[in-house]
Amino acid sequence: PPLGRMINIQDIEEIAKKILPYKAMAYYASAADDSISCVENARAFSRFFFRPRVMKAVSGVDPSTTMLGYKSSIPVYISGSALARLGHPLGEVNLTRAAYKSGILQMVSSNSSLSYAQIAAARGSSEQPLLFQLYKHKNDDIAARRIREVEELGYKAICLTVDALVPSNRELDTRASHYLEEYENEGKITRGNAADKSGDVSTLGTAGGLIVNNDLDMTWEKTIPWIRSVTKLPIVVKGIQCVADAVLAVEAGCEGIVLSNHGGRQLDYSLPPMEVLYKIRCERPDVFAKTEVYIDGGVRRGTDILKALCLGARMVGLGRAFLYAQSAYGEAGAIHLVRILEREIKFAMTSLGVRTIDQLAPELVERVDWQPL
What does the alpha-carbon distance between residue 204 and residue 179 come to, in Å, rounded to a whole number?
9
Q: How many of the other CB atoms lie within 10 Å of CB of 10?
A: 12
Judged by beta carbon, residue 65 or residue 161, the one nearer ligand FNR is: 161
Judged by beta carbon, residue 128 or residue 133, the one nearer ligand FNR is: 133
Cα–Cα nearest to 205, from 27, 324, 82? 27
Asked if 82 interacts with ligand FNR (CB under 6 A), we say yes
> Which positions from 31 through 50 interact with ligand FNR, judged by CB under 6 A?
41
What does the alpha-carbon distance between residue 260 and residue 107 come to, in Å, rounded to a whole number?
14
Q: Please indicate whether residue 135 is annotated as part of the active site.
A: yes
Asked if 238 interacts with ligand FNR (CB under 6 A), we say yes
What does the alpha-carbon distance between residue 117 and residue 190 come to, in Å, rounded to a whole number?
13
Cα–Cα nearest to 98, from 348, 336, 304, 327? 336
What does the alpha-carbon distance between residue 332 and residue 15 come to, in Å, rounded to a whole number?
14
Judged by beta carbon, residue 8 or residue 350, the one nearer ligand FNR is: 8
Asked if 170 interacts with ligand FNR (CB under 6 A), we say no
Residue 256 makes CB contacts below 8 A (sequence gap 6+) with 67, 68, 157, 159, 234, 235, 236, 237, 291, 292, 293, 294, 314
Cα–Cα nearest to 72, from 257, 316, 277? 316
Give the binding range for ligand FNR (CB under 6 A) out of 55-63, 78-86, 142-150, 335-343.
78-86
Instruction: Tally the C-alpha atoms within 13 A of residue 2's C-alpha that lie toward its C-beta.
Output: 2
Asked if 209 interacts with ligand FNR (CB under 6 A), we say no
> Which positions from 94 through 113 interact with ligand FNR, judged by CB under 6 A?
109-111
Catalytic member of 163, 215, 268, 296: 163
Catalytic member of 262, 296, 324, 329: 262
Report the residue number whose CB is nearest to ligand FNR.
319
Q: Please indicate whether residue 163 is annotated as part of the active site.
A: yes
- Angle ∠(103,107,112) on CA atoms, nearest 5: 125
Asked if 80 interacts with ligand FNR (CB under 6 A), we say yes
Asked if 161 interacts with ligand FNR (CB under 6 A), we say yes
Q: Please indicate whether residue 173 is annotated as part of the active site.
A: no
Asked if 319 interacts with ligand FNR (CB under 6 A), we say yes
Contact 274, 41 (CB under 8 A): yes
Contact 77, 308 (CB under 8 A): no
Contact 249, 240 (CB under 8 A): yes
Asked if 266 interacts with ligand FNR (CB under 6 A), we say no
* Residues touching ligand FNR, count (CB under 6 A): 26
Asked if 294 interacts with ligand FNR (CB under 6 A), we say no
Shortest Å, Cβ 110 to ligand FNR: 6
Catalytic member of 135, 155, 278, 324: 135
Shortest Å, Cβ 277 to ligand FNR: 14
Catalytic residues: 135, 163, 262
Q: State the residues that interact with ligand FNR by CB under 6 A.
A: 27-28, 41, 79-82, 109-111, 133, 161, 238, 260, 262-263, 265, 296-299, 318-321, 323
